Amino acid sequence: MNKTLVSLGLLFVTSALADDLALPAGWRAPSLEELGVVAVADFNGDKLPDRAIVVKNARSKGGGVLLWLSDEKAGYSWKVLHTHTSDVPYKSYVAVLAPGDYGVMCVFTNEGCTPKEKLRSGFASIYYCEHDQGTNCGMKAVFVWNNKTKSFIRGMYGD
């Protein structure tokens, strides 16, 4: 019973995505077997709904997370939050996190993953889980809006 409800929900989300937003060239919505979900919230504090979307590369097994982000002056545009190019057929999903402090092991910078204990956000944030061939999250991340730089910071969760 629960499996059917989840499948119906994912079918609705995937269909709604296809009908509602045209993805940038080279990307496609995930199939039901690949999971995928759309997380909708105001991720940058402008009081307009944004959408984080799990996507698949149209030509390979790679994928990632795209964001349909609002901007008061420029309107909506696509932003790439994360990509992977692995030959492993990842199953991924996104979810909305409430504003607050998130315990992380490191934060990505130009120098790599810099150790850090927490990230703080006054806005909703994006949780991302990337499954490898198992059933557990192989990679867990949080994307937090930085109002000063007008960009997202990616923090990695430890196990």
| pLDDT per residue rounded down to tens, the chain (159 residues) | 333 223 333 333 443 444 467 888 877 777 666 666 789 999 999 999 999 998 888 887 778 889 999 988 889 999 999 887 776 666 778 899 999 999 888 888 766 788 888 889 999 999 988 776 556 777 788 999 999 989 999 998 865
Distance CA 158, CA 154 (A): 13
Does residue 5 sit in helix, strand or coil?
Answer: helix
Distances (CA, A) of 90 to 31, 129, 133, 136, 139: 12, 10, 7, 11, 10
Q: How many domains does the chain have?
A: 1
Two tokens, residue 143: 């994307």
pTM (predicted TM-score): 0.77
Question: Which structural domain range is residue 96 located in?
Answer: 2-156
